[in-house]
Copies of this chain bind each other. A is one copy, B any other.
Amino acid sequence: MTLPAVVPFKPGNPKSRLSCVLDERERSLFAGAMLRDVLAALHGGGCDPYVMSTAPFDLPGERVVVNPAGLNESLNEVLAVTHGPLLILMSDLPLVTPPVVRRLVRTKEDMAIGPGRGGGTNAIFLRAASRFRVDYYQASFLKHLRIAAEQGLSCEVIDSFRLHTDVDEKEDIVELLVHGTGESRRYLEGLGFSLSIDKGRVGVERRKD
């Protein structure tokens, strides 16, 4: 049985905190490459994913549903009418692999949650989606644990750095160059990114053409 999965995506001016190393067009292409890495992990993990985009977006071979509403509003619309299982996975997780997806969907609890760095929520798997509602932004991981408790839902926290690592800032690119295996790593390497050592600490540098 393939499990439905939704990946929220916002195509306009993505990943602005990477402006120091990528221009707007590059950030847009990089965000698309990360999205395709996430979709590949979902397909490989036995899910049937679709992208919920705030604006029309061309993604050959994948399903895209447009909903211009905010993240919480659009996801809560989906949850309200989904009585079976649903996996919600963010689009900026290029380290996620099929085994990580399987750890989420094979939970023995009512739901599984993957915390993100900085108190965020990178994944939520629900056996009965309509029993939950999301509340993203700020320390959403703690809010989601609270909502689960209020709804009487048992919850497993998935302990995975691949799920924990969202790529928002230059430092996060180190993780992608160390642990990534997909298209988004190849895209950055093609732009000339590589690991660098500065005062004993690992960073990234971009080759000047």
Contact = CB atoms under 8 A, between A and B. Distances in A.
Interface of A: 99-100, 115, 117-120, 137-139, 141-142, 159-165, 171, 174-175, 178-179, 195, 197, 200-202
A178 B142 contact: yes
The count of identical subunits is: 2
Q: Would you call the interface of chain A mostly helix, strand, loop, or mixed?
A: mixed
Given A138-B202, A139-B197, 20 more contacts: A99-B159, A100-B159, A115-B179, A117-B161, A117-B175, A118-B171, A118-B175, A119-B174, A119-B178, A119-B195, A137-B200, A138-B197, A138-B200, A139-B178, A139-B202, A141-B178, A142-B178, A160-B160, A161-B161, A164-B164
A118 B196 CA distance: 11
Given A100-B159, A159-B160, A161-B163, A178 B137 contact: no
Contacts of A99: 159
B162 A119 contact: no
Of A115, A117, A118, A160, chain B has the most CB atoms within 10 Å of the CB of: A117
Contact of A119 (B137, B138, B161, B202): B202
Contacts of A162: 159
A173 to B, nearest CB: 11
Of A119, A139, A161, A195, chain B has the most CB atoms within 10 Å of the CB of: A161
Contacts of A141: 178
Contacts of A138: 197, 200, 202
A118 B202 contact: yes
Nearest to A95: B159
Nearest to A17: B201
